[in-house]
Every structure is written in C-alpha cells, then in structure tokens.
Structure 1
Amino acid sequence: MGPPRSQGRGAERESYSQPGPAPSLGALQRARPGPQTGWAPDGGAGAGGWEEALEPGRGPRPAPPSAPSRGSSAGGPARARAGFPAPGRGGNEAQMGLDNHTMVTHFILLGIPNTNGLQTILFFTFLAFYLCTLLGNLIILAAVLADPRLHTPMYFFLCNLAVLDIGLSSVNIPKYLANLWANSNTISLGGCMAQVFFYHFLASTETLLYTVMAFDRYVAICHPLRYLVIMNRRVCALLAAGTWICSSFHATILASLTFTLPYCGSNVVDYFFCDLFPVVKLACGDTYVLEVVTFTNTGLVPMTCFVLILSSYVRIVYSIIKMNAGEGRHKAASTCASHLVVVIMFFGSCALVYTQPQLSKVWVTTLDVFGNLVTPMLNPAIYTLRNKEVNAGLRKLLGGKTPAR
C-alpha cells in the first residue's frame, strides 16, 4: 500500500498533475522546503514545490484556485522567492515585528566606557560618594530643622537644594550600583522612562532654584531693610513651589516626546543610565520636534537663568564693594562666594553636556559623573565650612554648646 493521500489542496493537486515516473528520494529532499519556511510537511507546498520535483522537465505550473492547506498561505512560495519571510510561524512573527516595532520591553546599558574589569573599584567608589551625599545633605536638613534661628528664606531654599541633591544622585546611582553588583546591564522600559523623567525634573528644578537663591541674596544684600517684607513666607513658598511645578511640566514634555518615538532597531543604550541623547539615538522616527523642544528647554531656559544669576551677582558685588569694611561685608562676600561656586559647577557641566552633543563619550561621562555624584556631595561642605550659623546649628544638633551671638 502507498501512503495515504493528503486532503484538501493536496488532493486537488494530485488530480491536477499528470502522472509520471516516481521521483527519487534525493530529488524529493532537494525539492522539499526547509522547516524555517513554515510550509506544511504533507501536501502544504504550493505550486512549484512537489510538482517541479515530480516533473523536472517542465516549468512550474500556476497554483490551482484552491484554499490553502494548514500551515501555508496563498503566495507563500512566491513571497519566499521574492525575499520576504514565508508566512508560516517565522513569517507571522516577522510581520508582527514590523507592525509592532515600538514594543520595546527593556534596554541594555553598556555602562561607563573603557572600564572593563574595574567593576569592583567602581562599585565601592560610587557607593562611598553616594553615602557621603546622603549623609551630608541629611545633616543639613536636620540642622536647619532643629535650630529655629535658621528658619529664614536662605536656609529654606538651602533645604530644598539638599532634597534635590539627594534625589538627583538617587535617580541613576542606585541602579548603576545594582547593575555592578549583579553583573547585569538591563533596565526595564518603565525604569528607563523614570530615569529620563526624574533626572530632567530634578535637574530643571535645581536650575530654577539656583536662580531663586541668587534673587534671595540680591534682595538680602542690596535691599536689606526690605528683605523680610519682600521675602516673606508666602513669597518663599510660591517661589519654591513654582520651581517644582514648572520643572514637572518640562520633564513630562521631554519624557513623553522621547518615548512616543518608534524604537525599531537596537535597544542598547551606550551609557550608564538612560539620558535623553543616548536613548533618542535608538529611535527610528522623526525627532525634529523633540530636538526643538530640547534646545528650548535645556538650552535657552538654563542660559536665561544663568544670565539672571550673573546679573544678580554683578549688583551684589557692586553693593559689597560700597559697604564699609567689617563683619557684615565679610559675611555677605563669603555667602555669595559659596553660592557662586556651586552655580558654576552645576551650570558648567550642564552647558558642556547639553550644548555639545558631539562631545566625546569620555568627557560626557566625566562631566555627568561629576554633576550627579561629586557636586551633590560637595554642596553641603561648600555651604557649611565657612558658615557660622550652620556650624552652630550642627553643634546644637549634636548636643554641643552653641556660642552666644
């Protein structure tokens, strides 16, 4: 007995083909398509498959108008000869990949460039800096809250800055430490979106807060008699809230524009955390709108803030020069110098990173590590080393005696 006849299209094809000599086993193996094409193993190959092997002297015949059998579809062999994926299991997956090319579930972070084999050193270095950042800023918060004499506008804004420094360093450093510890470089899509949003949210808030702090110092030094009237609690609360609210809109717009782009290529982020430029490089859609918004939000707005800060300090320096020599002049100069050093460190690194997209990866990484890890750690030291009021608050917090004023 011969093999049972296949049903459906196989039966129609048998009646359609003219009888001929039985094919050899080698001819059948050469003519039979591989499993990757998705054709059915029994009678599922379209015209030009079995018939070409059975009748080697004749050209391929057009397929009869019959319904496709299981595992095949109309035009399958033609699509395979044209270079398209066959419409079987592999073809369906490829077609779904073309239709759903935005379905990225995770990203791979390559880490800091040129640091292969230094994972242990990087882990303990970043951990030490991060713990110092947390400890220093928490001490500032505790000292200001514990001493009623420090409940002034200047120290209110300093507390906001301490919270921002803790948050900014916590956006990407813990994830990087976890990747170093577990030797894993993956981050979920939600985690990448959170890093982009919170990084730009907190960095923008810090930019606006530095501007507000410069205005506070301008009023305190140039208009000392009206300082408490102008910078009352309501004004301070509105200024602080405004910096947080405006920055939330800024970060929402950037994150939305970034992750509504189609990502149909690689998901490898050539950086140690998800930032705007490294992620957008992976997009395969039009990024013109995002580029314009990025230039406005991370270029013009910070530059405007920096110009306002410099203008305030020009007036402050002019007022300090006009003061009589004494403790008040020294105190004003010391306070403003501390703030100006922090502003230059923050704006300098941001300006180089976001206005020079073609900067080498080594420089960009160095500046980002400095801005995300070193600057938040140095801020408490810069503001407290020469500040007698904060030092007195720290002694009170630690249970020591506070010198009388």
Structure 2
Amino acid sequence: MNNFTFFTEFILLGLSADCHIQTLLFVLFLGTYLLTLMGNLVMILVIRGDSHLHIPMYFLLGHLSFLDICFSSVTMPKMLQNFLSQKKSISMWGCITQSFFFLLCGCVEASLLSAMAYDRYAAICHPLLYTMVINRPLCMVMVSAAWGMGFLNSLVNNLFIHNLHFCGSNVISHFCCELPALFPLSCTDPTANKSLLSGSSAFLGLLTLPLILFSYSRIISAILNIQSSEGQAKAFSTCSSHLTVVLLFYGTALFRYISPASGSVLERVVSIQYCVITSLLNPLIYSLRNQEVKAALQRMLRQ
C-alpha cells in the first residue's frame, strides 16, 4: 500500500472528450434539464391547484414529479459544469455525496413505482372498493416507506465506501459518481461492497418487482374480461402511462446493476436513460396520455 499514491478527487470522463461535441452536449442537456424542471413543476402545481386531482393516484404522481426533479438535479448541474470546464474534477466527499443521493433517488423511485402499480390495480380490479383500499393515510405510509427504504439502502452502501482506499487512477469512466463506476478504482478489495450493493438491490427488487408483476397480471386479466372494446381501451388507458414509465426505468436500471461494470459507453448511455431521460419523459407521458391532467391544465391556464 505504501507504493500507491492516494488522491482526494476524481476526474469524471463524461460522455465525450471532443470539445465541439461537448458544446453540443451542453446545449442538449441544458435544454433537457430545463424541460425536466419545468415539466415536473407544472405537474406539481396542477395537482396541488386543482381539487379534481386531490385523489391518491395524483398524490403519488405529485411525489414522483418531485422525486424526478431531485433525481435529475443530483447529476445534471455537475455534468453541465464539466461540459464547459477543462478540469472535470469532483472532490472525494463530493463524489460520495453525489453517489448517496443518486442511490437514494433511484431506490425511492423504484419503491414509488411499485406503490403506483398497486394503486392502479385497486382502481381497475376493485373500483367500488377503491376509496376504502387506497386512501390518503395509506399513501402517506407508502411514500414514507419508500423514502425510508431508499435512505437506509443508500446510507449503508455509502458508509461502506469508507472502507475502500482509492489510489492509482482517479479517472471515473462515467459522467457521475455511480457506485459501480467507483469500485474498479479501489486498490483494496471491493468484493464486500459489490456484494452489499448487489444484495441490497436484489432485496429492493424482491420487495417492489413482485408487487408490480402481481398488480399488472391482475390488471391485464381484468381488462381481458371486459366485454366491450371501448371499455378495454378506457381501462388500459388508465394504466398504460404508468406501465410505460415502469418499463423505461426498470428495464435500464436492471441492466445497469445486474451486468458487471466495464466502463463502456453503453453503460453511460443506459445510465442517462434512467436518471435523465425518464425524469424528462414522466410528466410528458402522464400529461399527454391522461385526460384528467390535460383538463386540469386547461382549467389552470384559463384561470
């Protein structure tokens, strides 16, 4: 260990080393970030300002919009700064802080999407009992549990980072401090950290994915049992938006955390999908495919 040089900052490799491409990427991601903030803020304002949307489904959707603002803000400001700076560095404490909030937001989003899947199951499969099955106190419990599990998962994983010593190369083959990208830089054995991250991710998946799969298996079965095609289309439209978001988020996140880290460009593209693009698309998907949200937005604009 005495032969290694330890360091106190990391260099984020980013998406490209070409100056001209970095300028184009800065413009592209600045527009993406501003649209993400604007879209999710509008969703929160519409949901809070329209009394027709004061129901559990939109209570959860409002929290998802707030979470998407947090998720994109964890990585985007530093990424935008690095596009314009020569030295693309981040301090070790800054990197650990970013990895903490990145994992926190990712875990909370996974938990929140499973709660929203259960909400859609109750609305479609038990419409007469919906207000009894899903109510405001239960939604508060589900949201609190999502944040609690995300905080504990992120805290434990990031506390164990302090057992690692980083030396040699300090270049992270990524645009942010995501934990799988940090492990290859450790000159001490990160096997325990990898096992902890894999185990906690698997545990979170076992808590959230079965609920999503159960909910949508029952939803699909209920929709197929509807006699009229018009009724099937109406029932499917109430859950298609959420199903689209689930596929976008879980599909890319599972690929990133199940496959071994290689530092490839594909890993960075996949990470952009679930931590940047999904946050941008969520308000668009829920507003464009939801008649109640569009009607509430029209009422708000008229006022």
TM-score (norm 1): 0.71
Contact 2:256 2:267 in 1 (8 A): yes
Secondary structure in 1 aligned to 2:302? coil
The counterpart of 2:212, out of the listed 293, 296, 309, is 309
Aligned to 2:258: 355
- The runs of 5 or more residues in structure 1 that have no matched partner are 1-96, 401-405
Contact 2:10 2:170 in 1 (8 A): yes
- The runs of 5 or more residues in structure 2 that have no matched partner are none
- Equivalent AA in structure 2 for residue 238 of structure 1: V
**Is 1:126 equivalent to 2:29 in the alignment?**
yes
**Is 1:392 equivalent to 2:290 in the alignment?**
no
The counterpart of 1:199, out of the listed 93, 99, 102, is 102
- Equivalent AA in structure 2 for residue 347 of structure 1: Y
The counterpart of 1:340, out of the listed 220, 243, 251, is 243
Aligned to 1:285: 188
- Separation of aligned partners in 2, 1:302 and 1:361: 25
Q: Which deviates the most, 207-216 or 250-259? A: 250-259
Change in CA separation of 1:299 and 1:115 when aligned onto 2, cut-off 3 Å = farther
- Equivalent AA in structure 1 for residue 220 of structure 2: V
CA RMSD of aligned residues (A): 2.1
Select the structure with the greater relative contact order (CA < 8 A; seq sep ≥ 6).
2
- Separation of aligned partners in 2, 1:139 and 1:345: 22
Aligned to 2:121: 218
- Equivalent AA in structure 1 for residue 300 of structure 2: L
Aligned to 2:222: 319
Shift of 1:286: 2.5
Contact 1:169 1:373 in 2 (8 A): yes
Shift of 1:290: 1.1
Aligned to 1:38: none
Aligned to 1:371: 274
The counterpart of 2:38, out of the listed 109, 116, 135, is 135
Change in CA separation of 1:255 and 1:280 when aligned onto 2, cut-off 3 Å = same
- Separation of aligned partners in 2, 1:158 and 1:270: 34
Structure index of larger Rg: 1
Contact 2:174 2:263 in 1 (8 A): no
- Separation of aligned partners in 2, 1:215 and 1:258: 35
- Equivalent AA in structure 1 for residue 218 of structure 2: R
The counterpart of 1:244, out of the listed 131, 147, 160, is 147
Shift of 1:299: 3.3
Question: Residues 80-99 of structure 1 correspond to what in structure 2 (within 5 A)?
Answer: 98=2
- Equivalent AA in structure 1 for residue 287 of structure 2: T
**Is 1:107 equivalent to 2:10 in the alignment?**
yes
Contact 1:168 1:199 in 2 (8 A): yes
Q: Alpha-carbon deviations, 1:160-196, whole Å to 9, x = none?
A: 1101111111111110101112333011122101110
**Is 1:165 equivalent to 2:68 in the alignment?**
yes
- Separation of aligned partners in 1, 2:162 and 2:211: 33
Quick one: percent identity of the two aligned structures? Answer: 38
Contact 1:299 1:355 in 2 (8 A): no
- Equivalent AA in structure 2 for residue 306 of structure 1: L
Contact 1:265 1:282 in 2 (8 A): yes
Q: Which deviates the most, 379-388 or 327-336? A: 327-336
Contact 1:112 1:365 in 2 (8 A): yes
